[in-house]
Every structure is written in structure tokens, then in C-alpha cells.
């Protein structure tokens, strides 16, 4: 058994014993009524004494041959009375012990009540500090809340909720942060532009330090150690062992860092969210680092805006991931990200470079209507189930070299405005490219379509490299110079190790991904 396993077992045992002690402490003593207690004491003394006398033969005739029968009888009575007196003393001792236990438990209740009142007063004081107009006082309030949560597991989720609520308050970062935003962001301020609202800048800089501290406190208490290392003491769980939930809906976050790395290059493991992480509509100014973060519950980043670089390298979404209509104004790096549940990126906008190389979509992947304005890298991406890219817009170069579509692939109506490279892309099931448009240079020769592809109504510029047996229609002079893509006379053409077919009557059900 490894050291990590022993540490985890010890931690579980410690929590179990602590809960047991807490239940015993919280269990009040019952108040005994005087008359049942009196009757029980009298009955015990009299009954015990009578039983002792009967066993000693007080009421039995004295055997013959006893030298002094009267003395023997007297000794029997004295012994029986001594037993009765001993029982009375025992009852008295038990009542005294019970009274002592009552007094000690009452003292424990008083101490617990005093502790609860103290914790409540500290919590209220810390919460009031957050409402101060002085940044130093607000910082003190944050640290006081973090200390309360560290010492009191019952308060941890409440502390997290308060810090999240503080970050959800309206806030505009100082101009230094806005200048680091991507140029395509609506919150970008050019280096040579006038400083907006100069009188507000000092207060915004002070508030920035408070918010960076709040973000850092959240990150420190959400990080687990890597591998089999035991949980650090700073990792927060609730009283029942549950992990924290995040609610940062619409929050303004600056240089948000929930990655696996801490400051000074030390590695504190991976941030893990086993509950619900709600970042709906959050505004990420500066660089957002979620690299290798693990979301074990539902992750909602719908309509979120990343105004700088977004680092989600190796992030793992074990539940549903909602990034629908999210906007990435800078470089979006999702290399190796894994979506174990349904992934919704429908309508998402990537204004800068989008890197989804080697990303894995284990369930339904919805990128319908997504807009990629810069270079899009999907090389080596794995789509294991339904891949829905219908209507997706690729304004820049699109690289799908080696991408694999294991389930039904729907690229109907997708538009590739510049170079599109599908070399060695593999479509293991039916591929729907109905109405797809290739406005720039495109390479489809190396693509593998194992079960056919429907390219009816698809259009491309004459320079597109099509598989052997395919060509262009006679509709010259169409808008944009696009011409219809038509198949060969036999409908199925095989060249070397590639297969391409279209319009077959045996096309499978798009919803069928079996076999």
C-alpha cells in the first residue's frame, strides 16, 4: 500500500472519528423525572438488600450444631444491610457522576455556543470589511474570511460564495490591463490612446489588488496535489467531504489563474471542481489560465468573453461543457483539451488564432455556427461521437490534418474562406458536406471517407484539389467564382489507400453511430 493511500485512509478515519465525537457532543442528556428516579433508587436498595439477606439465609432456620445461633443470625442481618448500604452508595455515586456529566456537557454546550457566536461575529466583521471604501481593509476582510474557512469546514462553501459574490460586483479594470487585452477586444485600449476616466484610475488599481487576492485565495483552496500525493491542507472540502462550487456569473476577472502551477514556479497540482462551476458571461481581462484544470461537474462558460489569451491546454471537462456563443478575442489554446461529456461550442467566436490540436471530444461535439476568424488548427483532433460543424465559418486558414471523425460528421453548409487542409483526415462513418463552400485553396485528396460522403450542392473555386474522379460543374461565372462539385460517372472512385463516395442509396442514418 502506497504512502498516498495510507494518508488518504488516515484522513478519512480522522474525519469519521471527528464526526462521531461531534455527534456525541451535540447529543443532549435527558432530564430524569424525580419520582421514577426515586422509586428506582428505593427499589434497588431494598430489593438488593432483601436479595442479599435471602441468599445469606436471614429468614432460614439456623442449622443445628452452631455454637452461637443468635450471633450468626445477627451477622447475616448486618451483612445484608451492608449490601443494601453499598447499593445505596452506588446509586448515589451514579447520580453524582450523571450530575457531573450533565455539568460537563452543559459547559461544552456553553463553549460551543460561545465559539459559534465568536465565529459569527468574526464572519460578520470580515464581511463588513469587504464593504469598506479602503482597499487595505477589504484585503484584511478577505484574509479573515479565508482563515475562517480554513479552520471551519462548515463555513468553507459560504466563504467561497462570499468571495465569488464580491468578484461578481461590477468592475472596470485600470487602463494598464485594458491595454493588454487583444486588439480585437471591445475592451482594448490602444497604447497611444487617451486614458479613459483618469480620475478613476487610482481607485481601480487599488481594487485590482483586492480582486487579484480574492482570485488567488480561491485558486489556492481549489488545487489538489498531482499524482498519488495526499491532499494539501489548503485544499477545501465541506463537512461531508464535498468539494467547492463556484458561481462567477458575469464576474470581471483579471489574469484569472486556475492552472496547475502556483507562483514562483512551484507545482501545486491541478485545480479541480467536482461541483458546479458557473462562469456564464464572465469577462476575462488579460490572460486567462485554465491549463490542466479539471471540471468534474457541469462547467458553464456560455457567453463568456476572453479579452486576452485563453489557455485551456489539457483542461478536462468530465461533465457537460457549455461554451456556447463564448467569444475568444485573443489566442485560444485548447491543445489536448478533453471533453468527456457533451461539448457545446455552438456559435462560439474565435477572433484570433484557435488551436484545438489533439483535442478529444468523447461525446457530442456541437460547433454549429462557430466562427473562426483567424488561423484554425484542428490537426489530430478526435471526435468520437456526433461532430456537428454545420454552418461553421472558417475565415482564416483551417488545418484539419490527421483529424479523426469516428462518428457521424456533419459539415453541411460550412464555409472555408481561405486555405483548408484536410490531408489525412479520416471520416470513419458517414460524412455530410452538403452545401459546403470552399472559397480558397483546399486540399481534399488525402482525406479518407470510409463510409461515403455527400457533397451535393457543395461548391468550390476551380483550384481546389479534389479526389480522383471528381470535378467541377459547368456553372462558370457564379458569384465568388464558385462552381458545383460533381462526382465521377461511377459515383465511387478508389485511388491508392483512399475511398470516396457520395450520394449512395445506402447512406446510413445520420443519428446511427453504432458499428
Question: How many Å apart are CA 291 and CA 353, to the nearest integer?
Answer: 17
Q: Where does the pLDDT of residue 33 fall: very low under 50, low under 70, confident under 90, or very high at 90 and above?
A: low
Helix/strand/coil (H/E/C) assignment for every residue in 39-79: HHHHHHHHHHHHHHHHHHCCCCCCCCCCCCHHHHHHHHHHH
Alpha-carbon Rg for the chain in angstroms: 38
Strands 498-501 and 492-495: antiparallel
Residue 308 domain-assigned?
yes
For residue 136, pLDDT over 90 is answered with yes
Whether the predicted pLDDT of 29 surpasses 70: no
Residue 354 near residue 332, CB atoms below 8 Å: yes
Check: CB of residue 513 under 8 Å from CB of residue 386. yes
Q: How many CB atoms lie within 10 A of CB 116?
A: 12
CA end-to-end span of the chain, whole Å?
Answer: 41
Does residue 8 fall inside a structural domain? no
**Looking at the 3D structure of the chain, how many domains does it have?**
2
Where residue 16 falls among pLDDT bands split at 50, 70, 90? low
Q: Model-level pTM greater than 0.85?
A: no
Mean pLDDT of the chain: 82
Tens digit of each residue's pLDDT (9 = 90 or more) over 458-495? 999 988 888 777 788 877 667 778 888 887 543 433 33
Q: What is the pLDDT of residue 229?
A: 73
| 225 occurs within a structural domain | no
Burial of 343 from C-beta contacts in 10 A (0-12 / 13-18 / 19+): buried
Strand partners, 486: 471
pLDDT confidence tier of residue 55, bands split at 50, 70 and 90: low
pLDDT digits (tens, 9 = 90+) for 99-115: 777 787 778 778 878 88
What value does the mean pLDDT take over residues 496-500?
Answer: 36
pLDDT band for 89, please (50, 70, 90 cuts): confident
Q: What pLDDT sits at residue 495?
A: 34
In a domain, 347, yes or no: yes
* 261: pLDDT strictly greater than 50: no
Q: What three-state secondary structure class fits 155?
A: helix
d(CA 453, CA 499): 10
Task: Please say whether the dihedral angle defined by the alpha carbons of residues 76, 78, 80 and 83, taken in this order, is positive or negative.
Answer: negative
At 196, phi and psi to the nearest 5? -75, 135
Tens digit of pLDDT for each residue in 155-198? 999 999 999 999 999 999 999 999 999 999 999 999 999 999 99
Query: Which pLDDT value is given to residue 264?
Result: 28
Phi, psi of 459 (to 5 degrees): -135, 150
What's the 3-state SS for 206-267? HHHHHHHHHHHHHHHCCECCCCCCCCCCCCCECCCCCECCEECCCCEEECCECCCECHHHCE
Q: For residue range 137-149, what is the model confidence (pLDDT) as tens digits?
A: 999 999 999 999 9
How do 437-438 and 252-254 pair as beta strands? unpaired
Averaged pLDDT for residues 503-509: 42
The domain containing residue 380 runs over which residues?
A: 248-487
Rounded to an integer, what distance in angstroms lies between the CA atom of residue 513 and that of residue 290?
A: 32
Band of the pLDDT at 230, cuts 50, 70, 90? confident
Query: Could you tell me the CA-to-CA distances from 111 to 115, 119, 188, 380 in Å, in that order?
Result: 6, 12, 55, 62
Q: Give a yes or no: residue 287 inside a domain.
A: yes
Percentages of the chain per state (helix, strand, coil), in multiples of 5: 35, 20, 45
- The verdict on residue 350 lying in a domain is yes
Domain annotation covers residue 221: no
| Most confident segment among 91-105, 110-124, 407-421 | 407-421
> What single DSSP character describes residue 195?
P
Q: Is residue 197 one of the residues assigned to a domain?
A: no
Three cell numbers written together for 138: 477589504
353: which DSSP letter? -
Report the sign of the C-alpha dihedral through residues 231, 234, 236, 237, in that order. positive
Amino acid at each position: 500500500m502506497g504512502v498516498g493511500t495510507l494518508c488518504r485512509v488516515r484522513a478519512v478515519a480522522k474525519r469519521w472519528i471527528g464526526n462521531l465525537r461531534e455527534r456525541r457532543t451535540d447529543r443532549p442528556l435527558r432530564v430524569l423525572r424525580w419520582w421514577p428516579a426515586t422509586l428506582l433508587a428505593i427499589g434497588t436498595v431494598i430489593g438488593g438488600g432483601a436479595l442479599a439477606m435471602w441468599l445469606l439465609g436471614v429468614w432460614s432456620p439456623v442449622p443445628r450444631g452452631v455454637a452461637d445461633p443468635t450471633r450468626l443470625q445477627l451477622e447475616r442481618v448486618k451483612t445484608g444491610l451492608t449490601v443494601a448500604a453499598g447499593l445505596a452508595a452506588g446509586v448515589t455515586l451514579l447520580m453524582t457522576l450523571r450530575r457531573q456529566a450533565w455539568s460537563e456537557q452543559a459547559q461544552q454546550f456553553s463553549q460551543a455556543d460561545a465559539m459559534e457566536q465568536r465565529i459569527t461575529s468574526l464572519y460578520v466583521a470580515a464581511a463588513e470589511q469587504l464593504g469598506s471604501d479602503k482597499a487595505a481593509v477589504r484585503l484584511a476582510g478577505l484574509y479573515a474570511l479565508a482563515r475562517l474557512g480554513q479552520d471551519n469546514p462548515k463555513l468553507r462553501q459560504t466563504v467561497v460564495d462570499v468571495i465569488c459574490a464580491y468578484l461578481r460586483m461590477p468592475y472596470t479594470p485600470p487602463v494598464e490591463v485594458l491595454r493588454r487585452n487583444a486588439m480585437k477586444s471591445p475592451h482594448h485600449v490602444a497604447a497611444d490612446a487617451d486614458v479613459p476616466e483618469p480620475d478613476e484610475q487610482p481607485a481601480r488599481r487599488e481594487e485590482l489588488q483586492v480582486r487579484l487576492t480574492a482570485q488567488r485565495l480561491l485558486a489556492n483552496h481549489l488545487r489538489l496535489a498531482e499524482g498519488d500525493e495526499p491532499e494539501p491542507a489548503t485544499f477545501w472540502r465541506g463537512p461531508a467531504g464535498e468539494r467547492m462550487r463556484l458561481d462567477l456569473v458575469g464576474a470581471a476577472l483579471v489574469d484569472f489563474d486556475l492552472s496547475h502551477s502556483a507562483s514562483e514556479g512551484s507545482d501545486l497540482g491541478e485545480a479541480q471542481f467536482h461541483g458546479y462551476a458557473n462562469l456564464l458571461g464572465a469577462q476575462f481581462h488579460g490572460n486567462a489560465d485554465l491549463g490542466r484544470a479539471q471540471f468534474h461537474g457541469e462547467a458553464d462558460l456560455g457567453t463568456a468573453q476572453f479579452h486576452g489569451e485563453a489557455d485551456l491546454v489539457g483542461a478536462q471537462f468530465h461533465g457537460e461543457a457549455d461554451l456556447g456563443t463564448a467569444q475568444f478575442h485573443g489566442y485560444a489554446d485548447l491543445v489536448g483539451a478533453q471533453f468527456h461529456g457533451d461539448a457545446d461550442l455552438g456559435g462560439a467566436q474565435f477572433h484570433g488564432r484557435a488551436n484545438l490540436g489533439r483535442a478529444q471530444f468523447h461525446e457530442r461535439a456541437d460547433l454549429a455556427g462557430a466562427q473562426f476568424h483567424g488561423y484554425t488548427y484542428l490537426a489530430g483532433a478526435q471526435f468520437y461521437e456526433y461532430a456537428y460543424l454545420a454552418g461553421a465559418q472558417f475565415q482564416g486558414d483551417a488545418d484539419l490534418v490527421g483529424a479523426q471523425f469516428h462518428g457521424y460528421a456533419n459539415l453541411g453548409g460550412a464555409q472555408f474562406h481561405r486555405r483548408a487542409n484536410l490531408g489525412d483526415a479520416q471520416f470513419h462513418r458517414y460524412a455530410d458536406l452538403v452545401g459546403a463552400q470552399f472559397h480558397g485553396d483546399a486540399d481534399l485528396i488525402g482525406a479518407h471517407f470510409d463510409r461515403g460522403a455527400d457533397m451535393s450542392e457543395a461548391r468550390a473555386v476551380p483550384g481546389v484539389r479534389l479526389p480522383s474522379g471528381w470535378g467541377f460543374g459547368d456553372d462558370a461565372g457564379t458569384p465568388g467564382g464558385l462552381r458545383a462539385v460533381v462526382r465521377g460517372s461511377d459515383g465511387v472512385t478508389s485511388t491508392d489507400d483512399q475511398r470516396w463516395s457520395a450520394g449512395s442509396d445506402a447512406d446510413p442514418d445520420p443519428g446511427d453511430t453504432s458499428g
